[in-house]
A and B are shown apart, each in its own frame.
Chain A
């Protein structure tokens, strides 16, 4: 069945340091989505990747989809305290079942 593994589970960084979270699947994904959940909040959609090798940027955030479409990463350059939260990847394999990774909780130390 659909399954995505996400690492690391937790990450503490000093403000200004970079951060990366990874999402891996044993099967080829049709697409991957990334969400951010602030503490006490609900997940909010960030971006979707569809094409092999795709790279998208949103300000300090860079999203990549692997060439084999089995992995993805989210990289934040020069973290800020506003980046605190849990980042999730999600995949649906083109079906209606959106399956989420376990998430990476980011803490930024000022």
Chain B
């Protein structure tokens, strides 16, 4: 099983550029989420989805959009990148409501100059 797959692994953007971080899982998990990790800040929830067609905001949603057209995929879009969005981004999925382990992807390291 591939588990949770994130692409790309590294990305450098210029301020104002847009891009999409890809996340796919092959475990048939209903729940998927995006986190950003910054030094000293831990993992902060950006957006999450409890199933296809359903998304909701996490702790730090501003500047990011998501959609969930299929169970497998949960892309994260940066419409106009800002230096404050320089971070490591993790996608995670789980099978159940709040009491199932999260399975994380390997992360995307994004630098915005």
Are B43 and A9 in contact (CB-based, < 8 A)?
Answer: no
Q: Which of A42, A96, A102 contacts B107 (CB under 8 A)?
A: A42
Q: Which of A42, A50, A90, A92 has the most chain B CB atoms closer than 10 A to its own CB?
A: A42
Q: Which of B42, B50, B90, B103 contacts A101 (CB under 8 A)?
A: B42
Bitwise, A84-110 to B at CB < 8 A (1) or not (0) is: 000010101111111111110000000
Are B98 and A98 in contact (CB-based, < 8 A)?
Answer: yes
The number of A-B residue pairs with CB atoms under 8 Å apart is 70
- Cα A31 to Cα B99 with chains together (Å): 7
Q: How many residues of B contact A (CB 8 A)?
A: 27
Are B103 and A45 in contact (CB-based, < 8 A)?
Answer: yes
Main secondary structure of the interface of A (DSSP, over half): loop
B contacts, CB < 8 Å to A? 31, 33, 35, 40-45, 48, 50, 56, 58-59, 90, 92, 94, 97-99, 101-107
